[in-house]
Amino acid sequence: MPTISSDYKLVLTAHKPAGTQIKINREESLGGPTFVTMAGPCTVEDEKQMDEVARAVKRGGASVLRGGAFKPRSSPYSFQGLGKPGLQMLRAAADRYDLRVVTEIVSENQIDLIERYADILQVGARNMQNYELLKALGRATKPVLLKRGIAATIDEWLSAAEYILAGGNEQVILCERGIRTFATHSRFTLDLAAIPIVKKLSHLPVVVDPSHAAGNNNLVIPLALAAVMAGADGLLVEVHDNPSTAYCDAEQALTPMQFLELSSRMRDIACGTGRVIY
């Protein structure tokens, strides 16, 4: 039986028994009967790349284009993102294909800038317990996608979400992206059990990022399909037009053809679970 912490109250199902639905477009809402796919590269590289990926993910049924303009990296020598020009490329590509935008925010002083270009603000695993950022996002006007930290318990994850709701922003999406365990054959261990546990505890929608959990594109499709079966409301998946040339996380990115395969197989499973994928 999952434990309930006194550290969070607003995220609990009892606070909003009908559940939270976050509108994506005219047809789709996260947390509703539709299954929402967010797809795109780990990082924005150039206009051509973004256009090709946006076209590919739209063809595969994605509703939201993902891409990083600001990249917190483990090494200070790794590519850190293009910043504002990356946001502009991301927004332009999304608009051409009628997609929404999700992108990562790494600092509270970026909120105004990123809200001008993005529809959903993503908090990465490294910032899940950046409480000043979470407090600031409680005052944001856009939905927030909150990734689980790499060693965070479910209680800690929900407590982090509580900071955002307590600040007044009830548009929060929880994202399971894998946790650190003793496993060595994948980058992280995708905690599939967290999906039904959190959906029982909380009214917030839950999406899954199989790409960061896998670290290997051969594992992404099986993990994504398992997430659909486990009751996730959506996916956040990495797609690159030419993964071998990707600036970061090349090993885990799906090609456009692999993404089409995933989309086709997800539709079959979603129908069997009462979900709709447009």
Query: Per residue in 69-99, is it b (16+ CB within 10 Å) or e — as a string?
Result: bbbeeeeeeeebbbeeebbbbbbebbeebeb
**pLDDT for 82:** 83
Domain covering 13-272: architecture: Alpha-Beta Barrel (3.20)
Bridging pattern class, strands 29-30 and 100-104: unpaired
When the pLDDT of each residue in the chain is averaged and rounded to a whole number, the result is 93
Residue 14, CB-side half-sphere exposure with 13 Å CA sphere = 3
**pLDDT for 249:** 80
Cβ(194)–Cβ(148) below 8 Å? yes
Query: Per residue in 249-275, is it b (16+ CB within 10 Å) or e — as a string?
Result: bbebbbbbebbbebbeebbebbeeeeb
**pLDDT for 276:** 84
Cβ(40)–Cβ(246) below 8 Å? no
Q: How far apart are CA 258 and CA 264, in angstroms?
A: 10
Segment 47-59 mean pLDDT: 96
Confidence class of residue 165 from pLDDT cuts 50, 70 and 90?
very high
- pLDDT per residue over 59-116, tens digit each? 999 999 999 998 766 666 566 678 899 999 999 999 999 999 999 999 999 999 999 9
- pLDDT per residue over 185-222, tens digit each? 999 999 999 999 999 999 999 999 999 999 999 999 99
**pLDDT for 186:** 92
Confidence class of residue 151 from pLDDT cuts 50, 70 and 90?
very high
Tell the residue number behind the tokens 């909003």, with chain if given: 16
- pLDDT per residue over 32-47, tens digit each? 899 999 999 999 999 9
Confidence class of residue 275 from pLDDT cuts 50, 70 and 90?
confident
| Domain ranges within the chain, ordered by starting residue | 13-272
**pLDDT for 1:** 45
**pLDDT for 4:** 53
**In the chain, pLDDT over 70 holds for what percent of residues?**
94
**pLDDT for 278:** 76
pLDDT above 70: residue 130: yes
Q: How far apart are CA 92 and CA 89, in angstroms?
A: 5
Confidence class of residue 230 from pLDDT cuts 50, 70 and 90?
very high
**pLDDT for 202:** 97
